[in-house]
Amino acid sequence: MSLSLKDPICAIATPPGKGAIGVVRLSGEGALEVASRVWRGKDPRRLPGGRFTLGEVVDPETGEALDQALLLVFRAPRSYTGEDACEFQTHGSPAVLRRVLEALVKAGARLARPGEFTLRAYLNGKLDLAQAEAVLALVEAEGDLARRQALRSLEGSFSRKIAALEDRLLSLLAHIQALLDYPEEGVEAHRAEAVLREVLGEIEGLLAQARSSRLAQKGARLALIGAPNAGKSSLLNALLGYERALVSPIPGTTRDYLEAPLELFGIPLLAVDTAGIRETSDPLERAGVERALRIAEEADLVLYVADRAAPRPPLPPLPARALKVATKADLPPLWEDPGFLPVSSLTGEGLAALKEAIREALLGREGGEYLLSERQIEALHRARERLLEAQDLPEDLMGLALEEALQALASLRGRRQVSEEVVARVFQNFCVGK
Ligand SMILES: Nc1nc2c(ncn2[C@@H]2O[C@H](COP(=O)(O)OP(=O)(O)O)[C@@H](O)[C@H]2O)c(=O)[nH]1
Ligand SMILES: [Mg+2]
């Protein structure tokens, strides 16, 4: 099926289930004509864009009233898709929404394919590809960090950054082209080296955010492990801000593991409290200990918890991503270790520093500026490889690698006509037409 269809499409835009309001969208050439066939009230074809009107949605074949609704009219190109479009705001029951959708199909619209409204927005130049991906990420954002990062991309900040990198590579290509075509001009050499180094640095900076992007979108598992009675369950409750886990002075209270969702700095986390690690003859407790160690291995971050008011337990083998926490900091310490973060779940002392350390361990110091999709990460890797290749070539031979790097970058924004642009840039920048 062709991507560039303009026929009127319709879809229910609100989630399934009952809500106060439901929205049905319609967009395409002739959308207002279609709307007029299902609308009793002011003729949508005569309404200016950006207006809404109250009326009734009707079945176009029988004239049966389906619901009272608001109709919002948008006129090309001033709509989300860039086409003539409208939105029906009806009562939000599936019964109403289904009939409204059926009415639109009877009136000549087609059911939209997934993402088709945004695809049209992209094809009509309302959004570039990175922005279209940001729309998807915003719709799917689980935590506040993902929301923030996706909005930044939607507003074009990521695209502008990529455009700036493309720009630098284009200039470099133009420069190299001039070097080849007009060697007698004595264009300064060794410019490539610096440009390549800088662009690579920027791309590597973006790639360093791949991990934080994945965490922001998919969340992370945070496992609490340590000896019985170390204060793991208390720490979990302190992080959560409510009493989720059972706390008791009897060692071995938590035998199975326990999961609780938690959002820290906008990152959706799943905190996992585990059975205390110790030698035990109780088979049930031993199974819990084995499970705890496995959970620690699979976690994105481990909090190793040790009681500072008790004799220091032997350190179990810890994964690379682990923070060491000394609990019960409100009690007189039996040991000190600068490698441990002192925390009291009772008084809250050290909790803010621990949260900050968790954030840094998960996101790194920068904290992740952009939300990168897997596609974007892959394209950035491709660009990086080509640039590394170019670095090893003499300037007059690096053109192809540069073009390929540029292609990869251009694909982020969904632009591919790179060669023509290179040509245009040679003219524009150098004016060597003597
Ligand atoms: N004073 C003090 N007692 C604590 C603190 N954290 C935990 N406890 C106590 O230590 C005991 C064991 O705590 P718990 O969270 O169940 O440890 P777990 O076995 O590691 O889950 C309980 O009696 C808690 O009240 C703390 O920060 N300060
Ligand atoms: Mg416990």
- What pLDDT does residue 333 have? 95
Is position 44 within any domain?
Answer: yes
pLDDT exceeds cutoff 80 at 283: no
| CATH number of the domain within which 60 lies | 3.30.1360.120
Distance, CA of 310 to CA of 231 (rounded, Å):
11
Domain span at 352 = 217-363
- What pLDDT does residue 80 have? 94
**Whether residue 60 is found in the same domain as residue 80:** yes
Q: Which of 363, 381, 416 is the last residue of a domain?
A: 363
Q: What is the pLDDT of residues 326-358, one digit of tens each?
A: 999 999 999 999 999 999 999 999 999 999 999
Which whole number is the average pLDDT over 395-406? 89
Is position 307 within any domain?
Answer: yes
Between the CA of 257 and the centroid of ligand 2 the distance, in Å, is: 9
Q: Show the tokens assigned to 56.
A: 């009734």
- Count of the separate structural domains present in the chain: 3
Which whole number is the average pLDDT over 168-185? 81
Q: What residue's CA is closest to ligand 1, atom 1?
A: 328
Q: What phi and psi, each to the nearest 5 degrees, are found at residue 338? A: -65, -15
| CATH number of the domain within which 300 lies | 3.40.50.300
Distance, CA of 324 to CA of 312 (rounded, Å):
13
**Whether residue 222 is found in the same domain as residue 355:** yes
The answer to whether the CB of 229 is under 6 A from ligand 1 is: yes
Q: Show the tokens assigned to 127.
A: 């959004």
- What pLDDT does residue 234 have? 94
Task: List beta partners, residue 301.
Answer: 222
Between the CA of 248 and the centroid of ligand 1 the distance, in Å, is: 7
How many Å from the N-terminal Cα to the C-terminal Cα in the chain? Answer: 49
Which whole number is the average pLDDT over 353-367? 86
Query: Mean pLDDT in the chain?
Result: 87
Q: Show the tokens assigned to 361.
A: 């361990």
pLDDT exceeds cutoff 80 at 92: yes
**Whether residue 269 is found in the same domain as residue 358:** yes
- What pLDDT does residue 402 have? 93
> Positive or negative, the Cα torsion across 93, 97, 100, 102?
negative
Ramachandran area for residue 116 (φ above 0: left; ψ -120 to 50: alpha; else beta): alpha
| Range in 56-70, 85-99, 252-266 the model is least confident about | 252-266
Q: Is 281 labelled a binding residue? A: no
**Whether residue 231 is found in the same domain as residue 200:** no
The answer to whether the CB of 328 is under 6 A from ligand 1 is: yes
| Range in 129-143, 269-283, 332-346 the model is least confident about | 269-283
